[in-house]
Amino acid sequence: MKNDCRQGWTRFIPQGIPCLLIVFALFAYLSSVMGLPNMLNTIMKTAHDLLLNTVFYLMGICVITGAIGRLFVEFGVVNLLERLLRPLMRPLFHLPGVASLGAVMTFLSDNPAIISLSQDKRFCSYFKKYQYISLTNFGTAFGMGLLVIVFMVGQGYYAAPFIGLFGAFCGCIVSTRLMQRFVLKAYPRYATEAAYTEDEEDAATDADDANAANGKSLFLRTLDSLLDGGRTGVDVGIAIIPGVLVISTFVMILTFGPADDGAYTGAAYQGVELLPWLAGQVNIIFEWLFGFTDPHLVAFPITALGAVGAALSLVPNFIEQGWVDGNAIAVFTAIGMCWSGYLSTHTAMLDSLGYRELTSKAILAHTVGGIAAAVVAHLAYMLYACF
């Protein structure tokens, strides 16, 4: 019994002590600069303001885009887009044409849409194993694309978000092809092994689904699509709350500074300006690669690693401070779409596909792809600005 207790303590102590040290060190640093009461008030007020003025705004966009996306699915717009994009799949992404459906679905919703699609046995039958595994990177690069573009347009930028979309497209090519290369290097046999072999029973299951909507009127089909899609948007809006409130609050505290007079008052969106200071030490890298004119802007790509919804919540404050220009919006759109919280979704996505051991390779490939997307968006915006 004593040995069991001792083993339990030795298992948890190595994890618990570093966790406590990191948490205490972080809050000790923040309170030493801001003062303990001011730090606590700022955290609470920032989270509260983000919930009221950012999360509900994003949720509204999620509901509208979710309804439109479901309407597109119901009336064949998604299939039309899939047919138009199909010729690009093999030469650019080395994927079968049906993969374009995954790009459209994740663009209209979020990264996990590729998971539900990849569980369809008929869909999987078109892929070799190395192509099937790379769907994680391919789908993530377009995740929440419609939401990101609509949000940026809502901030008053029109050309820049679509330049960012082009950058995300290029970053997706880099990420997907690099992931395929990693998989083939680790498992050469996956080049010829099929992801799934379709049988007669699976091939015969489409008839009822294809005719399910025939008994409904046009009005009911439209109404059901809008309401079901809007309900999905609510789910997405609720799902982004933890990321926005937790990640964005701490990123903002590490990004913004004190009040105009240099004093800390406990108001929302005050902070210690640690991230800009760190970025300033290597600012030439971000200025050269991304065209960032202010070191504060590095907070967006850092936040997008965990949640693109949280990253979007930073933009209105950046605009208010005068740090954002069209180039930054293009880069934000590209890296926000391409990364779209992949650190928090890649593990679950690959686990659901049954290839958890390849998570580190997928993350590395997508990191490179996101940086490539931002660089392409920056260069494309510079070219656009010349005309």
Q: For the chain, give me the number of helices (H) and strands (E)? A: 24, 0
Count of domains for the chain: 1
In a domain, 57, yes or no: no
Range of the domain at 144: 101-199+241-385
In a domain, 226, yes or no: no
In a domain, 252, yes or no: yes
In a domain, 66, yes or no: no
Q: At what angle do helices 56-74 and 99-108 cross, to 10 degrees?
A: 140
The reported pTM is 0.74
In a domain, 224, yes or no: no
In a domain, 1, yes or no: no
**Nearest alpha carbon to residue 180 among 265, 273, 93:** 93
Cα–Cα distance between 353 and 63 in angstroms, integer?
Answer: 28
Q: What is the DSSP string of 282-323?
A: THHHHHHHH--SSGGGGHHHHHHTT-HHHHHTTHHHHHHHT-
- Token readout for 51 is 């919930």
In the prediction, which pLDDT does 38 show?
93
In the prediction, which pLDDT does 3 show?
58
**Full pLDDT tens readout for the chain, 387 residues:** 555 555 555 555 666 788 888 889 999 999 999 999 999 999 999 889 888 887 787 677 678 767 776 777 778 776 777 678 778 888 999 988 878 877 887 887 777 677 666 666 767 777 889 998 998 899 888 888 888 999 999 999 999 999 999 999 999 999 999 999 999 999 999 988 887 765 544 444 444 544 555 567 788 888 888 888 788 778 767 876 886 788 778 877 887 888 878 899 999 888 888 877 877 777 777 888 899 988 889 889 888 876 788 789 889 989 988 999 999 999 999 999 998 877 666 766 777 677 878 888 998 999 999 999 999 999 999 999 988
Q: Is 41 helix (H, G, I), strand (E, B) or coil?
A: helix
Which three-class secondary structure string do you get for 134-195? CHHHHHHCCCCHHHHHHHHHHCCCCHHHHHHHHHHHHHHHHHHHHHHHHHHHHCHHHHCCEC
- Other C-beta atoms closer than 10 Å to the C-beta of 205 total 11
In a domain, 42, yes or no: no
DSSP state of 247: I
In a domain, 28, yes or no: no
DSSP state of 110: -
